[in-house]
Amino acid sequence: MPEKSNLIIQPDTLDLALLESLQHKPAPFTPGEPLFWDDPHISAQMLQTHLDPETDLASRKPETIEKSVAWIVDELGLQAGDALLDLGCGPGLYASRFAPLGLQVTGVDYSRRSIVYARGEAERLNLEIVYRYENYLDLADEGLYDAALLIFGDYCVLNPANRHKLLGNVRRALKPGGYFVLDVTTPNLVYHQGDKSRWYAAEAGFYRPTPHLVLENGFAYPDERIYLDQYIVIEEDGAVKVYCNWFQDFTREMIVEELAAGGFNVRGVWSDLTGTPYEEGSEWIAVVARTG
Protein backbone atom coordinates (compact mmCIF):
# COMPACT_ATOMS: atom_id res chain seq x y z
CA MET A 1 0.00 0.00 0.00
CA PRO A 2 1.23 3.59 -0.64
CA GLU A 3 2.72 5.20 2.44
CA LYS A 4 0.92 8.51 1.92
CA SER A 5 -2.51 8.74 3.54
CA ASN A 6 -3.84 12.12 2.39
CA LEU A 7 -5.03 13.15 -1.05
CA ILE A 8 -4.51 16.87 -0.50
CA ILE A 9 -0.94 17.80 -1.40
CA GLN A 10 -1.47 21.58 -1.61
CA PRO A 11 -4.45 23.82 -0.88
CA ASP A 12 -7.12 23.02 -3.48
CA THR A 13 -4.90 20.36 -5.10
CA LEU A 14 -5.61 16.62 -5.08
CA ASP A 15 -2.97 13.94 -5.46
CA LEU A 16 -4.67 12.12 -8.30
CA ALA A 17 -1.65 9.86 -8.82
CA LEU A 18 -2.12 8.54 -5.30
CA LEU A 19 -5.83 8.06 -5.89
CA GLU A 20 -5.14 6.17 -9.10
CA SER A 21 -2.49 3.98 -7.45
CA LEU A 22 -4.85 3.04 -4.64
CA GLN A 23 -7.19 1.45 -7.16
CA HIS A 24 -4.57 -0.87 -8.68
CA LYS A 25 -5.22 -4.56 -8.20
CA PRO A 26 -3.06 -5.53 -5.20
CA ALA A 27 -1.19 -8.79 -4.68
CA PRO A 28 -3.25 -11.44 -2.87
CA PHE A 29 -3.72 -10.77 0.84
CA THR A 30 -2.04 -7.37 0.77
CA PRO A 31 -3.14 -5.92 4.13
CA GLY A 32 -5.32 -2.86 4.45
CA GLU A 33 -6.15 -0.72 7.47
CA PRO A 34 -5.42 -2.86 10.58
CA LEU A 35 -7.94 -1.12 12.85
CA PHE A 36 -11.28 -2.45 11.65
CA TRP A 37 -13.09 -4.66 14.13
CA ASP A 38 -12.29 -2.32 17.02
CA ASP A 39 -12.83 0.99 15.21
CA PRO A 40 -15.31 2.88 17.47
CA HIS A 41 -17.68 3.76 14.63
CA ILE A 42 -17.30 0.72 12.36
CA SER A 43 -17.68 -1.76 15.22
CA ALA A 44 -21.00 -0.14 16.14
CA GLN A 45 -22.23 -0.55 12.56
CA MET A 46 -21.03 -4.15 12.52
CA LEU A 47 -22.87 -4.95 15.74
CA GLN A 48 -26.06 -3.40 14.40
CA THR A 49 -25.78 -5.55 11.27
CA HIS A 50 -25.10 -8.70 13.32
CA LEU A 51 -28.28 -8.09 15.31
CA ASP A 52 -30.53 -7.28 12.35
CA PRO A 53 -32.76 -10.36 11.90
CA GLU A 54 -33.71 -9.33 8.36
CA THR A 55 -30.22 -9.59 6.86
CA ASP A 56 -27.44 -12.16 6.70
CA LEU A 57 -24.64 -9.74 5.80
CA ALA A 58 -22.75 -10.17 9.10
CA SER A 59 -24.51 -13.12 10.73
CA ARG A 60 -27.00 -15.57 9.37
CA LYS A 61 -30.67 -15.01 10.08
CA PRO A 62 -32.05 -16.33 13.41
CA GLU A 63 -33.97 -19.22 11.85
CA THR A 64 -30.80 -20.47 10.13
CA ILE A 65 -28.77 -20.11 13.33
CA GLU A 66 -31.38 -22.16 15.21
CA LYS A 67 -31.23 -24.92 12.60
CA SER A 68 -27.43 -24.89 12.60
CA VAL A 69 -27.17 -25.20 16.38
CA ALA A 70 -29.60 -28.15 16.38
CA TRP A 71 -27.76 -29.86 13.53
CA ILE A 72 -24.29 -29.38 15.04
CA VAL A 73 -25.40 -30.77 18.40
CA ASP A 74 -26.95 -33.80 16.72
CA GLU A 75 -24.15 -34.43 14.23
CA LEU A 76 -21.40 -34.20 16.86
CA GLY A 77 -23.42 -35.96 19.56
CA LEU A 78 -22.78 -33.13 22.00
CA GLN A 79 -24.12 -33.59 25.50
CA ALA A 80 -24.64 -31.45 28.57
CA GLY A 81 -21.28 -30.75 30.18
CA ASP A 82 -19.30 -30.85 26.94
CA ALA A 83 -17.01 -27.85 26.36
CA LEU A 84 -17.55 -25.81 23.20
CA LEU A 85 -15.27 -23.07 21.79
CA ASP A 86 -16.96 -20.50 19.52
CA LEU A 87 -14.24 -18.68 17.56
CA GLY A 88 -15.24 -15.33 16.08
CA CYS A 89 -18.33 -15.48 18.27
CA GLY A 90 -19.39 -11.88 17.59
CA PRO A 91 -22.29 -10.83 19.82
CA GLY A 92 -22.92 -14.42 20.91
CA LEU A 93 -25.74 -15.41 18.56
CA TYR A 94 -24.62 -19.06 18.49
CA ALA A 95 -23.10 -19.25 21.97
CA SER A 96 -26.34 -18.03 23.57
CA ARG A 97 -28.20 -20.90 21.89
CA PHE A 98 -25.69 -23.62 22.78
CA ALA A 99 -25.42 -22.66 26.46
CA PRO A 100 -29.07 -23.42 27.41
CA LEU A 101 -28.45 -26.99 26.21
CA GLY A 102 -26.03 -27.50 29.10
CA LEU A 103 -22.83 -27.00 27.11
CA GLN A 104 -19.91 -25.15 28.67
CA VAL A 105 -19.41 -22.42 26.09
CA THR A 106 -16.43 -20.12 25.59
CA GLY A 107 -16.69 -17.36 22.98
CA VAL A 108 -13.65 -15.56 21.54
CA ASP A 109 -13.83 -12.45 19.36
CA TYR A 110 -11.59 -9.54 18.39
CA SER A 111 -14.34 -6.92 18.54
CA ARG A 112 -14.44 -5.34 21.97
CA ARG A 113 -17.92 -3.95 21.30
CA SER A 114 -19.31 -7.38 20.36
CA ILE A 115 -17.83 -9.00 23.46
CA VAL A 116 -19.29 -6.30 25.72
CA TYR A 117 -22.70 -6.86 24.14
CA ALA A 118 -22.41 -10.66 24.39
CA ARG A 119 -21.50 -10.48 28.08
CA GLY A 120 -24.47 -8.22 28.74
CA GLU A 121 -26.83 -10.61 26.99
CA ALA A 122 -25.44 -13.60 28.89
CA GLU A 123 -26.04 -11.78 32.15
CA ARG A 124 -29.53 -10.75 31.08
CA LEU A 125 -30.42 -14.33 30.11
CA ASN A 126 -28.64 -15.82 33.14
CA LEU A 127 -26.33 -17.89 30.94
CA GLU A 128 -22.91 -19.03 32.14
CA ILE A 129 -20.84 -18.25 29.05
CA VAL A 130 -17.20 -17.20 29.10
CA TYR A 131 -16.55 -14.42 26.60
CA ARG A 132 -12.99 -13.31 25.82
CA TYR A 133 -11.82 -10.30 23.86
CA GLU A 134 -8.96 -11.97 22.00
CA ASN A 135 -7.51 -12.55 18.55
CA TYR A 136 -7.98 -16.27 17.90
CA LEU A 137 -4.63 -16.26 16.11
CA ASP A 138 -3.15 -15.77 19.59
CA LEU A 139 -5.21 -18.56 21.20
CA ALA A 140 -3.10 -20.53 23.66
CA ASP A 141 -5.67 -22.89 25.24
CA GLU A 142 -4.60 -26.54 25.52
CA GLY A 143 -6.80 -29.65 25.60
CA LEU A 144 -9.90 -27.91 26.93
CA TYR A 145 -12.68 -28.38 24.40
CA ASP A 146 -14.75 -31.17 22.92
CA ALA A 147 -15.58 -29.06 19.87
CA ALA A 148 -14.58 -25.77 18.26
CA LEU A 149 -16.57 -23.70 15.76
CA LEU A 150 -15.55 -21.14 13.15
CA ILE A 151 -18.74 -20.13 11.38
CA PHE A 152 -19.77 -17.97 8.41
CA GLY A 153 -16.57 -18.07 6.39
CA ASP A 154 -14.19 -16.60 8.98
CA TYR A 155 -11.58 -19.09 7.83
CA CYS A 156 -11.72 -17.65 4.30
CA VAL A 157 -10.51 -14.16 5.26
CA LEU A 158 -7.15 -15.42 6.54
CA ASN A 159 -3.99 -15.64 4.47
CA PRO A 160 -2.32 -19.07 4.16
CA ALA A 161 0.15 -18.49 7.00
CA ASN A 162 -2.59 -17.39 9.40
CA ARG A 163 -4.82 -20.30 8.39
CA HIS A 164 -1.96 -22.67 9.23
CA LYS A 165 -1.45 -20.91 12.55
CA LEU A 166 -5.15 -21.05 13.37
CA LEU A 167 -5.36 -24.78 12.67
CA GLY A 168 -2.48 -25.35 15.05
CA ASN A 169 -4.20 -23.25 17.72
CA VAL A 170 -7.49 -25.12 17.32
CA ARG A 171 -5.85 -28.55 17.31
CA ARG A 172 -3.98 -27.69 20.52
CA ALA A 173 -7.13 -26.31 22.17
CA LEU A 174 -9.18 -29.44 21.50
CA LYS A 175 -9.22 -32.60 23.56
CA PRO A 176 -8.03 -35.78 21.78
CA GLY A 177 -10.68 -36.67 19.22
CA GLY A 178 -12.23 -33.20 19.44
CA TYR A 179 -14.28 -31.78 16.58
CA PHE A 180 -13.65 -28.71 14.45
CA VAL A 181 -16.69 -27.34 12.60
CA LEU A 182 -16.35 -24.62 9.97
CA ASP A 183 -17.80 -23.44 6.70
CA VAL A 184 -16.03 -21.94 3.69
CA THR A 185 -17.11 -20.32 0.44
CA THR A 186 -16.59 -21.88 -2.97
CA PRO A 187 -15.86 -20.31 -6.39
CA ASN A 188 -19.59 -20.79 -7.11
CA LEU A 189 -20.53 -17.96 -4.75
CA VAL A 190 -22.17 -15.45 -7.08
CA TYR A 191 -21.04 -12.47 -4.99
CA HIS A 192 -17.38 -13.33 -5.65
CA GLN A 193 -17.64 -13.56 -9.43
CA GLY A 194 -16.05 -10.82 -11.54
CA ASP A 195 -14.40 -7.47 -10.93
CA LYS A 196 -16.49 -4.44 -9.97
CA SER A 197 -16.01 -0.73 -9.32
CA ARG A 198 -18.30 1.94 -7.90
CA TRP A 199 -18.27 4.98 -5.63
CA TYR A 200 -20.64 6.85 -3.37
CA ALA A 201 -20.61 9.90 -1.10
CA ALA A 202 -22.39 10.01 2.24
CA GLU A 203 -23.07 12.48 5.02
CA ALA A 204 -22.62 9.54 7.40
CA GLY A 205 -22.44 5.82 6.87
CA PHE A 206 -20.91 2.48 7.74
CA TYR A 207 -17.31 3.69 7.68
CA ARG A 208 -17.60 7.20 9.10
CA PRO A 209 -20.07 9.26 11.15
CA THR A 210 -19.06 12.36 9.15
CA PRO A 211 -19.15 13.23 5.41
CA HIS A 212 -16.94 10.97 3.33
CA LEU A 213 -16.41 9.38 -0.07
CA VAL A 214 -16.11 5.63 -0.62
CA LEU A 215 -14.43 4.10 -3.67
CA GLU A 216 -15.36 0.43 -3.78
CA ASN A 217 -13.48 -2.10 -5.87
CA GLY A 218 -13.95 -5.83 -6.29
CA PHE A 219 -11.02 -7.83 -7.63
CA ALA A 220 -11.17 -11.47 -8.70
CA TYR A 221 -8.12 -13.76 -8.78
CA PRO A 222 -9.64 -16.83 -10.49
CA ASP A 223 -6.41 -18.84 -10.71
CA GLU A 224 -5.93 -18.60 -6.94
CA ARG A 225 -9.69 -18.75 -6.17
CA ILE A 226 -9.36 -15.49 -4.22
CA TYR A 227 -11.61 -12.44 -4.15
CA LEU A 228 -11.07 -8.97 -2.66
CA ASP A 229 -13.58 -6.35 -1.55
CA GLN A 230 -11.61 -3.11 -1.21
CA TYR A 231 -13.01 0.12 0.22
CA ILE A 232 -11.06 3.38 -0.10
CA VAL A 233 -12.54 5.84 2.39
CA ILE A 234 -11.74 9.52 1.85
CA GLU A 235 -12.68 12.10 4.48
CA GLU A 236 -13.37 15.82 4.02
CA ASP A 237 -9.81 16.76 4.95
CA GLY A 238 -8.39 14.34 2.36
CA ALA A 239 -7.42 11.63 4.85
CA VAL A 240 -7.49 8.19 3.25
CA LYS A 241 -7.97 4.71 4.74
CA VAL A 242 -8.04 1.51 2.71
CA TYR A 243 -10.00 -1.46 4.03
CA CYS A 244 -9.37 -4.88 2.44
CA ASN A 245 -11.72 -7.81 2.90
CA TRP A 246 -10.04 -10.88 1.41
CA PHE A 247 -11.84 -14.15 0.71
CA GLN A 248 -10.15 -17.45 -0.11
CA ASP A 249 -12.64 -19.71 -1.86
CA PHE A 250 -12.22 -23.48 -1.62
CA THR A 251 -13.14 -26.60 -3.50
CA ARG A 252 -13.96 -29.70 -1.48
CA GLU A 253 -10.56 -31.16 -2.32
CA MET A 254 -8.75 -27.97 -1.26
CA ILE A 255 -10.34 -27.72 2.19
CA VAL A 256 -9.96 -31.44 2.90
CA GLU A 257 -6.27 -31.29 1.93
CA GLU A 258 -5.61 -28.14 3.96
CA LEU A 259 -7.29 -29.52 7.07
CA ALA A 260 -5.37 -32.77 6.71
CA ALA A 261 -2.11 -30.83 6.53
CA GLY A 262 -3.18 -29.09 9.75
CA GLY A 263 -3.70 -32.38 11.59
CA PHE A 264 -7.45 -32.90 11.07
CA ASN A 265 -9.38 -35.78 9.55
CA VAL A 266 -12.48 -34.64 7.67
CA ARG A 267 -15.48 -36.63 8.81
CA GLY A 268 -17.88 -35.18 6.26
CA VAL A 269 -18.86 -32.21 4.11
CA TRP A 270 -22.24 -30.61 3.48
CA SER A 271 -23.56 -27.61 1.57
CA ASP A 272 -24.32 -25.70 4.75
CA LEU A 273 -24.32 -26.02 8.52
CA THR A 274 -27.94 -27.15 8.64
CA GLY A 275 -26.96 -30.51 7.10
CA THR A 276 -27.97 -29.98 3.47
CA PRO A 277 -26.25 -32.72 1.42
CA TYR A 278 -23.20 -31.49 -0.47
CA GLU A 279 -23.54 -30.73 -4.18
CA GLU A 280 -20.74 -29.74 -6.55
CA GLY A 281 -22.43 -26.44 -7.43
CA SER A 282 -22.84 -25.33 -3.82
CA GLU A 283 -21.79 -21.81 -2.86
CA TRP A 284 -20.65 -23.03 0.58
CA ILE A 285 -18.95 -26.09 2.03
CA ALA A 286 -19.64 -27.01 5.63
CA VAL A 287 -17.04 -29.26 7.21
CA VAL A 288 -16.90 -31.46 10.29
CA ALA A 289 -13.31 -32.49 11.04
CA ARG A 290 -11.68 -34.26 13.94
CA THR A 291 -8.27 -34.35 15.52
CA GLY A 292 -6.30 -37.49 14.83
Q: CA nearest 163: which of 146, 144, 145, 182?
A: 182
pLDDT at 220 over 60: yes
For residue 109, which phi and psi values (nearest 5 degrees)?
A: -150, 155
Same domain, 226 and 102: no
Residue 35 lies in a domain: no
Please count the structural domains in the chain.
Answer: 2
Cut 0.75: pTM above it: yes
Kindly report, residue by residue over 134-165, the tens digit of the pLDDT. 999 999 999 999 999 999 999 999 999 999 99
Compute the average pLDDT of residues 17-45.
90
Domain limits for position 271? 42-187+249-291
Same domain, 153 and 274: yes
Kindly report, residue by residue over 242-288, the tens digit of the pLDDT. 999 999 999 999 999 999 999 999 999 999 999 999 999 999 999 99
Q: What is the CATH number of the domain that holds 283?
A: 3.40.50.150
Contact 65, 94 (CB under 8 A): yes
Same domain, 50 and 159: yes
Same domain, 110 and 225: no
Contact 287, 182 (CB under 8 A): yes
Quote the pLDDT of residue 38: 86
Same domain, 161 and 66: yes
Compute the average pLDDT of residues 219-247.
95
Quote the pLDDT of residue 3: 52
Same domain, 105 and 75: yes
Same domain, 215 and 271: no
Same domain, 101 and 227: no
pLDDT category, 60, cuts 50, 70, 90? very high
Q: How far apart are CA 164 and CA 159, in angstroms?
A: 9
Kindly report, residue by residue over 77-114, the tens digit of the pLDDT. 999 999 999 999 999 999 999 999 999 999 999 999 99
Same domain, 231 and 286: no
Calculate Rg over the CA atoms of the chain. 20
- For the ranges 84-93, 161-170, 193-202, which has the lowest average pLDDT? 193-202
Q: How far apart are CA 278 and CA 45, in angstroms?
A: 34
Residue 215 lies in a domain: yes
The residue from 217, 232, 248 where one domain ends is: 248
Contact 32, 242 (CB under 8 A): yes
Same domain, 145 and 242: no
Residue 28 lies in a domain: no
Question: Inter-axis angle of helices 112-124 and 40-51, to 10 degrees?
Answer: 40
Same domain, 278 and 141: yes
Quote the pLDDT of residue 121: 98
Q: How far apart are CA 278 and CA 27, in angstroms?
A: 32
Same domain, 222 and 264: no
Contact 86, 94 (CB under 8 A): yes
More confident residue, 240 or 194: 240
pLDDT at 4 over 70: no
pLDDT category, 204, cuts 50, 70, 90? very high
More confident residue, 9 or 128: 128
Kindly report, residue by residue over 42-56, the tens digit of the pLDDT. 999 999 999 999 998
Q: CA nearest 257: which of 153, 150, 184, 174?
A: 184
DSSP string across the chain: --S--BSEEETTEE-HHHHHHHTS-PPTT----S--TT-HHHHHHHHHHHH-TT--SSS--HHHHHHHHHHHHHHHT--TT-EEEEET-TTTTTHHHHGGGT-EEEEEES-HHHHHHHHHHHHHTT--EEEEE--GGG----S-EEEEEE-SSGGGGS-HHHHHHHHHHHHHHEEEEEEEEEEEE-TT-GGGSS-EEEEEEESS-SS-SS-EEEEEEEEEETTTTEEEEEEEEEETT-BEEEEEEEEE---HHHHHHHHHHTTEEEEEEESSTT-PBP-TT-SEEEEEEEE-
